[in-house]
C-alpha cells in the first residue's frame, strides 16, 4: 500500500498570532519584575543612610570637622542618597521607554529579540541606580550621576550593536539614553518644576511613538506577516 502523503505542518497559532500582544505583556511583566532588584537597592540606600546618620551623630573632634560645614562629605552623601531615592521613583518610566525602543526596532525593522536580550538590557539599566548609590558616597551628586549614567549606557549601547545588528540602530539607543538621562537629571534637580518637566517629557515621548508607528499594520503583525512602517 502506498504511504499517505505527509500532511503539511502548520505553525503553532500561539507562536504566530497575537505575537505583538504577548511581547507587550512580557515587557510589562519584566518592568514589574525588575522592581525587585531596584527595591533591594532602595533598601541598601536606607541602610547606608541610617548608618551614616548614626556615625555623624557621634561626637567629632574639632580638627576632624570640615572647614566648609555647608558642604561636607556627610552633606554630599546625604544629597546623593536623596538623588537615588528620587531616581528610583522614575525607574518604571526609564525601563519602559528603553524597552519600548527595542520593541519598536523589532516591529519596524523586522528584528527578533529574545527574552534574554530584554533581561540583560534591564539588568544594565538597574546597575545605573546601584552605581549612582555607590558613587554618590564618594563624589558630588552631579559627578556621581554622570559616572553612573555613562557606565550603564555604555553597557546597553555596546550590547545593542550586537543584538540590533546595526551601528545606526545602536546610535539611536545611545541618543535615547542620553536624552533620557538628561531629562531625568533635570527633573531630579528641579524640585519645584519636576512634575511639569516630567509630564512634558511624557507628551514628547508619546508623540514620537505615535509618529513612528502611525503606519504600522498591527493586524498583519499579529497574523504572522511582516509589519510595514
Buried b (16+ CB within 10 A) or exposed e, 163-175: bbeeeebbebbbe
What is the C-alpha separation between 209 and 204, in angstroms, rounded?
9
* pLDDT for residue 8 is more than 70: no
What are the grid coordinates assigned to 172, written together? 539611536
Mean pLDDT throughout 49-53?
83
* pLDDT for residue 61 is more than 60: no
Percent of the chain with pLDDT strictly greater than 90: 42
Mean pLDDT throughout 131-135?
94
Query: In the structure, what pLDDT confidence band is assigned to residue 198 with cuts at 50, 70 and 90?
Result: confident
What is the C-alpha separation between 36 and 61, in angstroms, rounded?
41
The answer to whether 207 and 201 have CB atoms below 8 angstroms apart is no
Alpha helical stretches, state H, 137-227:
141-163, 167-189, 194-212, 218-222
- Reported as a single tens digit per residue, the pLDDT across 140-161 is 889 999 999 999 999 999 999 9
- Reported as a single tens digit per residue, the pLDDT across 29-45 is 999 999 999 999 999 99
Grid cell 555613562 — which residue? 150
Amino acid at each position: 500500500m502506498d504511504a499517505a502523503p505527509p500532511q503539511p505542518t502548520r505553525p503553532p497559532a500561539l507562536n504566530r498570532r497575537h505575537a505583538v500582544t504577548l511581547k507587550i505583556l512580557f515587557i510589562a511583566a519584566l518592568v514589574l519584575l525588575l522592581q525587585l532588584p531596584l527595591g533591594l537597592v532602595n533598601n541598601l540606600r536606607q541602610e547606608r543612610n541610617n548608618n551614616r546618620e548614626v556615625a555623624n551623630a557621634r561626637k567629632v573632634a574639632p580638627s576632624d570637622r570640615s572647614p566648609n560645614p555647608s558642604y561636607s562629605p556627610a552633606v554630599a552623601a546625604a544629597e546623593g542618597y536623596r538623588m537615588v531615592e528620587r531616581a528610583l521613583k522614575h525607574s518604571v518610566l526609564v525601563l519602559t521607554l528603553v524597552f519600548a525602543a527595542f520593541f519598536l526596532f523589532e516591529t519596524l525593522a523586522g528584528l527578533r529579540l529574545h527574552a534574554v536580550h530584554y533581561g540583560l538590557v534591564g539588568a544594565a539599566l538597574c546597575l545605573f541606580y546601584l552605581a549612582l548609590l555607590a558613587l554618590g558616597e564618594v563624589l558630588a551628586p552631579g559627578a556621581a550621576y554622570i559616572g553612573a549614567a555613562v557606565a550603564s549606557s555604555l553597557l546597553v549601547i555596546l550590547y545593542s550593536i550586537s543584538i540590533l545588528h546595526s551601528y545606526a540602530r545602536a546610535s539611536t539607543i545611545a541618543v535615547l539614553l542620553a536624552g533620557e538621562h538628561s531629562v531625568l537629571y533635570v527633573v531630579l534637580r528641579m524640585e519645584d518644576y519636576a512634575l511639569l518637566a516630567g509630564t512634558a517629557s511624557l507628551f514628547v515621548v508619546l508623540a514620537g511613538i505615535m509618529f513612528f508607528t502611525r503606519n504600522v499594520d498591527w493586524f498583519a503583525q499579529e497574523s504572522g506577516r511582516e509589519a510595514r512602517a
